[in-house]
């Protein structure tokens, strides 16, 4: 095993050792994991408020929400696409579910209907990308403003409150001490892991990100696979929309504002490549934990919250810069 490969990638003309490639991915995740640990230890030492049960649960709740949308974003990024509409879909979904609950529909019906709307939104994006041949960037950027507009329209730009107690309690509840929101993350990670690693669909997602024309020549159902990616991403965004509405007891179109970038950042911190075909489920969850820790730490240290947005931008550029170096080196 050539250990230099760990840092530089396979040498030109040399056969890539799959063990090294796998180890690289583990090491990236491990590095991010240690980064989280280091941040947590530092914050516990410099602030008196970080290492309290209330605060830690808060960090985990925030990271749970971001983890779920980051997993959706990762599935899209694997196909060498991008979903910039996630934040708006979160907001729109929180409006839909709140409006329905307000009208007296049962919680289950409201949630299922909201998820169906999410699937519909994803289908619209995928339709534009496959049939309309629009770049994913443009299609979902249009989605970003469109779905935000729809959310404002159906609520009259007003926050929708007055939600049932059972609904609100879900986001604060736990099962055997494990917060419900974290259970939701597990509930998303397991099927996504199976899809990506152990199904034909997963293989097709990676093949499209790796070489789309080649996948087409090999009779991979490209259109259907891309529909899956965007519908899955929007579905997860809708689920997060529902969870946010429950957590804040509020449906409002600006819920999830700019979260699409949190999702991209979480995903790339977790080792996903913006150029497609590289990514898994553990990375985005770790990435989301990094971001929510930064967010929380900045608050506790009395740093202006605006810095967090600036930092997210810097992180995206830095990580993608190194990703690109890797690609060029090849």
Which residues bind to other proteins, rule: CB under 8 A?
10-18, 21, 194, 197-200, 202-204, 206-207, 209-211, 213-221, 276-278, 330
Closest to other proteins by CB, 13 vs 177, is 13
Query: At CA 314, angle to CA 136 and CA 7, rounded to 5?
Result: 85
Closest to other proteins by CB, 27 vs 99, is 27
Closest to other proteins by CB, 78 vs 115, is 78
25 CB contacts (<8 Å, ≥6 apart)?
Answer: 271, 280, 283
Residue 209 CB, shortest distance to other proteins, in Å, is 7
User: What are the φ/ψ torsions at residue 7 (nearest 5 degrees)?
Assistant: -100, -35
Residue 165 CB, shortest distance to other proteins, in Å, is 40
Residue-level length of the chain: 330
Q: How many CB atoms lie within 10 A of CB 64?
A: 26
Residue 135 CB, shortest distance to other proteins, in Å, is 21
DSSP string, 103-147: TT--HHHHHHHHHHHHHHHHHHHHHHHHTS---HHHHHHHHHHHH
Residue 127 CB, shortest distance to other proteins, in Å, is 19
Residue 9 CB, shortest distance to other proteins, in Å, is 8
Residue 274 CB, shortest distance to other proteins, in Å, is 14
Closest to other proteins by CB, 65 vs 220, is 220
Closest to other proteins by CB, 242 vs 278, is 278
DSSP string, 275-318: TSS---SHHHHHHHHHHHHHHHHHHHTT--THHHHHHHHHHHHH
> Facing residues of 251 across strands?
160
Residue 106 CB, shortest distance to other proteins, in Å, is 32
Closest to other proteins by CB, 276 vs 287, is 276
Q: What is the widest separation between alpha-carbon atoms in the chain?
A: 65
Closest to other proteins by CB, 25 vs 320, is 25
Return the closest-CA partner of residue 316 out of 272, 276, 278: 272
């Amino acid at each position: 095993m050539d250990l230099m490969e760990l840092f530089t990638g396979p040498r030109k003309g040399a056969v890539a050792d799959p063990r090294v490639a796998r180890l690289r991915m583990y090491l990236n995740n491990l590095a991010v994991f240690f980064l989280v640990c280091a941040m947590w230890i530092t914050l516990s030492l410099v602030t008196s408020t970080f290492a309290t049960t209330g605060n830690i649960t808060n960090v985990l709740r925030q990271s749970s929400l971001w983890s779920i949308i980051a997993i959706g974003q990762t599935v899209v990024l694997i196909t060498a696409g991008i979903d910039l509409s996630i934040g708006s879909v979160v907001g729109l979904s929180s409006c839909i579910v709140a409006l329905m609950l307000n009208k007296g529909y049962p919680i289950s019906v409201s949630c299922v209907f909201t998820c169906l709307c999410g699937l519909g939104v994803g289908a619209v994006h995928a339709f534009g990308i496959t049939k309309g041949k629009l770049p994913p960037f443009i299609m979902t950027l249009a989605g970003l403003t469109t779905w935000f507009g729809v959310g404002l329209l159906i609520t009259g730009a007003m926050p929708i409150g007055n939600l049932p107690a059972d609904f609100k309690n879900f986001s604060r509840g736990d099962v055997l001490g494990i917060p419900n929101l974290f259970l939701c993350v597990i509930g998303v990670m397991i099927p996504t892991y199976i899809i990506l690693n152990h199904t034909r669909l997963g293989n097709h997602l990676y093949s499209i990100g790796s070489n789309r024309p080649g996948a087409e020549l090999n009779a991979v159902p490209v259109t259907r696979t891309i529909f899956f990616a965007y519908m899955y991403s929007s579905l997860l965004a809708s689920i997060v929309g529902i969870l946010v509405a429950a957590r804040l007891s509020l449906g409002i179109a600006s819920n999830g504002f700019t979260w699409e970038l949190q999702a991209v950042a979480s995903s790339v911190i977790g080792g996903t490549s913006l150029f497609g075909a590289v990514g898994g489920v553990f990375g985005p969850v770790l990435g989301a934990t990094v971001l929510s820790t930064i967010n929380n730490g900045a608050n506790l240290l009395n740093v202006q919250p605006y810095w967090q947005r600036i930092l997210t931008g810097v992180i995206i550029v830095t990580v993608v810069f190194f990703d690109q170096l890797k690609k060029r080196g090849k």
